[in-house]
Structure 1
Amino acid sequence: MTTTSERMDYPGNIFVVAAPSGAGKSSLVKALMELDSAVQPSVSHTTRPPRGQEKHGREYFFASPPEFDALIAADGFVEWAHVHGHRYGTSKKAIEERIAQGADVILEIDFQGALQIRKTFANAVMIFILPPSWEELRSRLERRGEDSASVIELRLKNAAEEMARAGEFDFVIINELFERALFDLKAIVHAQRLRYSAQRRARADTFAALNIP
């Protein structure tokens, strides 16, 4: 895994969204991208099989274990991790190309991977999604209807470990009311675009006319 911290001044932003399974990060990220076309997804590689209507290259790049091993050997991932019995990885090259072009990239990623992203992209904006309660988290996992009872218990066990480290993120959103959580996520993205360095780059003519260095 890459561990060197890089504070590069890219025109685009990296938003890293992590959450315990069932907290609603996928729905929030999808809704954000539908509202804001300037936010582009980073598509991860995974060794797990597709679920439901998932398509290769859209939700994930589905790779066989040997294919995944080859990408690791080529240092193709900025991070990769074992999650619930499968491997997930994020392409460093793909992220760099997009943010170098000025795009805002959002990564919907597991907890382990999120912390690895920060080690490589020090300017990444780290966002953690929380459920409103343990009861609601369990209920969401059960309503999803994708996992056995034993898998749900494993996800809840992992959730306890992940949520205990929410303080390592820049922002925390409690997804109790979806519309409110989406508003909070949009606000974080908008605020990042209003930072001095971003505004100076985006509105260079205005800054020059006002003699702002």
Structure 2
Amino acid sequence: MVRKREPRPVPGRPEVGRSKLGRPKLSRPYVRQPVAEPISLERAVEEGLLIARSALTMEVKNRIIVSALRDDHRFEAAETASWVVLELIKLSAEQAEYAERMSELVNTGTDRRRTISKEHDYGPRDYRMLTRRGLAYASLSTQLMRLVDDPDYVASVVEDARGKAWSELGNAIGSRLDCGPMQHPDADYTLERDTRLRALVAIDLARLWRSAGANAAR
């Protein structure tokens, strides 16, 4: 008995098969997904500065609100500007620490052939990603430290934070006029706010650097 040859599939045309019930079943050809354009180091740092600016404004805004409600403290632009400078220094130091950590991973986790040691979960292709991420952290740290000596930038953060604080206070007062006296913020909330805010910044920046490094490694 001569076995009937199966026809070869035509490229670009759906293949016809048979299901378990004997019905014709079409299988679509593989379609390659488009590769995202790699994000440049300059753009990564620029977006990192935007994230840091947003977090910085939120931090100063919260300090203005807590100082006004809990401490009955009057707003002063000079004092608030000093808060902005201190927060910029902290953010810059944090990015410098992240850059140093990336450098340690590259130096201790790779050999001359750029193979990753078994102590880490990174693969051989991650060498370039780690290096690029370290450069991004270091560049962002440098830019943040430069902003410390930029009075116009500091003043703009103060003004943005003040406007957001007064808007939030006005909305809170308006919503509570018919609901009894306003409660003062909890002291624990004030202590834990910095931790939550910095965790949020770290998550956003890490996601940004992962995107930059992963696309560049392709």
TM-score when normalising by structure 1: 0.27
CA radius of gyration, larger in: 2
Which structure shows the bigger proportion of residues in helix conformation?
Answer: 2
TM-score when normalising by structure 2: 0.26
Which structure shows the bigger proportion of residues in strand conformation?
Answer: 1
